Structure 1
């Protein structure tokens, strides 16, 4: 898998001169966070965290691999996951417990190879109660991104887990088989973070952070495209079917 993914990234990077953008703005106050309250920290069983974002008052979009134990590959019980919208400095603007979750039907934790591990790395969590609070507005989703598209990411990560950071100046470096290669600055904990497209004042989620990688000294981030893949996850959720995956292995981030 590493060889396939490395080759894919090398081909993408060979056609671009972009390097990873590193400018981050910490959203530490209510004023800083205005408009971003629907992004939150996902607490995973008290052992780790990911990032997620509301796409409806009761639906949180994140990465599928966040719902699996890193070592055993077992699914994490949804009652051990909590969504903390707008989490910063020890408090959240709203808290949500999870009633059920669905991952992409073709996602196999630790079992996929190459870009397949990233392209299907999507999950949606349904909360027990919708979050309806002034200042927390769920995001709409966008269609396909193009090479060179300006994008932004709001995420939590190691070293910045107590408040989200906004990066509003990264780009899509390439796309293949539903996987975006991006110049965005991500780290452990950024899994599931929303990747935003900007069209005037219209801000929509166009991808979800799945992994980070380092190819020949160039740091990149990998994102999952939405479109029909998200429709598949929402369909699974509506049918109340949650695929149980018993494969083992895998990692929180893919490093070629």
Structure 2
């Protein structure tokens, strides 16, 4: 999982009462989260994905590309394992086709601009229609200070999903949110939820593992706008076309992140 970091000052850092990660080991613990699954990439690696319809999985775009060559990974070698837990999934499905955000640039240097478009939508070869396995809805982008949660698989916890029921939005701008959520390699594509009236809905997808002032944070793409683009591309049959590798236009000061810009001194992205 390619992940990154911003070292920008934020007021009130550490004031939020985050809850620790909790492994969903039993059926009772994982009930309601079975729509999150492990996305097998066909070469020994994996990402996390989540059902947003009976036959659609939302994940991170960079999961679909070889991190060494930048080439597109073959969809026919991928498999979505819904609710994967202790060597068994609720359902196993192949991938029929996929769509990547048209502005995503594979192989580009990790940056806030790259995170913004790090979204992909996969259509399964067969819909998953099982009692109790309900796809997740989506919600508008969260605001600074909002409580969110994340369910993910990752390095050293690849056999069961882990839930961080409460973490927080530290900052956000232009389709990117910085989160206090705990993620690690393999959590790429993990859904970030906001719970309203007891119903979890996806507001972001984990894109980058980050470090800020020696504290771990995560960067995620908001899904509100990008999802409609992905749906349209998938309806058109999917496409292999992605953004060309061109120099990124410098961002204006990210005031909601604090002083400085994405390229300010001390900012870095952590790589696997």
The answer, yes or no, to whether TM exceeds 0.5 is: yes
Partner of 2:14: 18
**How far apart, in 1, do the equivalents of 2:116 and 2:15 lie?**
22
Partner of 1:95: 92
Stretches of structure 1 that go unaligned for 5 or more consecutive residues are: none
**How far apart, in 1, do the equivalents of 2:233 and 2:12 lie?**
37
Q: Quick check: 1:145–1:172 contact (8 Å CA) kept in 2?
A: yes
Determine if the alignment matches structure 1 residue 255 to structure 2 residue 251: no
Partner of 2:180: 183
**How far apart, in 2, do the equivalents of 1:72 and 1:22 lie?**
38
Q: Quick check: 1:62–1:123 contact (8 Å CA) kept in 2?
A: yes
Structure 1 residue ranges (4+ consecutive) displaced by more than 4 angstroms after TM superposition: 19-22, 245-248
Shift of 1:159: 0.7
Partner of 1:228: 225
3-state SS of the aligned residue for 1:162?
Answer: strand
TM value normalised by structure 2: 0.85
TM value normalised by structure 1: 0.90
Partner of 1:43: 40
Partner of 2:238: 241
Deviation string for 1:25-51 (max 9, x for gaps)?
111111111000000000001320000
**How far apart, in 2, do the equivalents of 1:224 and 1:18 lie?**
22
Matches within 5 A, 1:136-147: 136-147=133-144
| 223-232 or 81-90: bigger deviation | 223-232
Determine if the alignment matches structure 1 residue 163 to structure 2 residue 160: yes
The size of the alignment, in residue pairs, is 245
Of 212, 232, 256, which aligns to 1:215?
Answer: 212
Partner of 2:30: 33
Q: Quick check: 2:67–2:107 contact (8 Å CA) kept in 1?
A: no
Shift of 1:10: 3.4
Q: CA RMSD in A?
A: 2.1
